[in-house]
């Protein structure tokens, strides 16, 4: 089986940083695999995810996605393969939860186009699977931090990527929603997603 990601010896140092945050990191990620990155605060977990998402470029080493160097992908092409749920998201607009989750379909909507019925159907399906239908019409700016985290996860899922990168996916969630999200991650892996 071919890997989705192959990372060879990457190193990263922030500008004016006194140390390498990543030093010689290597890993491979395969379809259906759940990879958990553990470490103390400041160990470089988020930096590694940012490199895997193409948001940061390592100073050494190589990141290959589906056999191609990550730097060769256009943003839209990469968004069809990789979704990234970051640790924190500050809402800028008072979209409804439904509209916010619908933005996850952007990689499939033509320039100056609008989401279609199939896009909307996928959003309703994911909101139902995540037990979020009651939030659909609420303003994203007015829901709790835990509910926002659920919205970010729903938006990543409707993106239909092959890989989902989660940076602390259960942060700000109560115990019941933590269990629901972790079960959903396991279900995604069974369906063939690669999850970090």
**How confident is the prediction for the chain on average, in pLDDT?**
89
Q: Is the CB of residue 96 less than 8 Å from the CB of residue 139?
A: yes
Half-sphere exposure of 2 (CA within 13 A, CB side): 6
88: confidence class by pLDDT, cuts 50, 70, 90: low
Q: What percent of the chain has pLDDT over 70?
A: 97
Q: Model pTM? A: 0.86
What is the rounded CA–CA span in Å between residue 156 and residue 79? 10
Q: Is the CB of residue 177 less than 8 Å from the CB of residue 148?
A: no
Q: Residues 95-148: pLDDT tens digits?
A: 899 999 999 999 999 888 899 999 999 999 999 988 899 999 999 888 887 788
Planar angle of CA 195, 162, 181, nearest 5 degrees: 40
Q: Is the pLDDT of residue 26 over 80?
A: yes
- What pLDDT shows up at residue 127? 94
């Amino acid at each position: 089986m071919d890997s989705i990601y192959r990372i060879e010896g990457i190193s990263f140092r922030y500008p004016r940083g006194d140390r390498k945050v990543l030093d010689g990191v290597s890993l491979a990620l395969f379809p259906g695999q759940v990879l958990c990155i553990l470490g103390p605060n400041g160990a470089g977990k988020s930096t590694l995810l940012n490199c895997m998402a193409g948001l940061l470029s390592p100073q050494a080493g190589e990141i290959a996605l589906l056999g191609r160097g990550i730097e060769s992908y256009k943003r839209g092409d990469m968004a069809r393969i990789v979704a990234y749920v970051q640790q924190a998201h500050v809402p800028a607009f008072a979209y409804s939860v439904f509209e916010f989750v619908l933005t996850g379909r952007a990689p499939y909507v033509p320039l100056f186009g609008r989401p279609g019925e199939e896009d909307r159907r996928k959003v309703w399906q994911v909101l139902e699977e995540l037990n979020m239908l009651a939030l659909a019409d609420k303003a994203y700016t007015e829901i709790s931090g835990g509910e926002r985290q659920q919205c970010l996860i729903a938006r990543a899922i409707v993106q239909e990527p092959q890989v989902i990168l989660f940076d602390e996916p259960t942060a700000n969630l109560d115990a019941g929603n933590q269990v629901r999200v972790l079960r959903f991650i396991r279900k995604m892996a069974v369906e063939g997603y690669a999850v970090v």
